[in-house]
Structure formats: structure tokens, C-alpha cells
Amino acid sequence: MRLPARTDYALRAALELADSPDSPLTTDEIARRQDIPTSYLGSILAELRRATLVRARRGPEGGWSLARPATDIRLADVIRAVDGALADIAGTRPENLNYTGPAEGLQPVLVALRAAERQILDAVTLADVISGRLPSRVRKLLDDPHAWE
């Protein structure tokens, strides 16, 4: 799986906000804590706001905060907000691909890949990541030594 830097930044920013539920964080604070370019982070936070995952408050006590509890925001929500569908091939959903000849069997593999991504990313919340208490099916995958290679 390849995550663009933009998606990585969005996940890290959301986790910073989840770790600070009682006090809003400024864009500069998040950028500094996670070593994310501030100007780039501003547009990412705006996308997360459009997806109703975060909210902004103006003024001296203002900043960014999650729009709902970290237990209700899945990693997949953040990824979809900034990157679109979890798995597509050149902008096409795997079930809409048409392969022929020896490549014909590739479509079900790509559909299965998307399903596997969903099983993890739709199951893990921001709160799970912060607490280190990942769902059992994710922990089971991590027990395989080959997962770390």
C-alpha cells in the first residue's frame, strides 16, 4: 500500500487533534509537532473540515479540534477525506475494471485487496491508534513476523 505524503500528514494531524481533545491546536502547533509544512497542512485541514472530521474556531482561544470523538473517526474516514476511494486503479474502482486474456484474473485480486484494506482501515479509530489498543484482527496481522519486512 502506498500512502501519499498528503494522506500521511492528514492522519498525523488528526491524531494530534485526537490526543488533545480539550484544547484546540493551531495549524502552527500541529505542523511543528508533526514536522509538516504549515502551508500544506492548512489545505489538508480545510479538506478534513469539509468532510466534517474537524472544526475550526477563530480567536485567541481558537484552533482546530475534532468535530466528533476520536472513537467515532476511523482511519478510513481521514484517508477518504483527502485521498478519495481507498483503492482505485488510475481513478477507476476495481469492480469496474475490464481485463482480458491473461490479465482477466487480476480484477478479483484487486477487489480483494480493497476489501482487505477496508477490514483494517474501517476497523481502526483514531482513539485505537492513540491508546495502542488495536482491534484483535489487526493485532493478529502484526504477530506475523513477515508483516514487519
* Interatomic CA distance for residues 126 and 11, integer angstroms: 9
User: pTM to 2 decimals?
Assistant: 0.89
**Per-residue model confidence (pLDDT) at position 128:** 98
pLDDT over 80 (residue 91): no
pLDDT band at 96 (very low <50, low <70, confident <90, very high): confident
What tens digit of pLDDT does each residue of 6-47 get?
999 999 999 999 999 989 999 999 999 999 999 899 999 999
- Reported CATH class of domain 5-148: mainly alpha
pLDDT over 80 (residue 85): no
In the chain, domain spans: 5-148
**Per-residue model confidence (pLDDT) at position 19:** 97
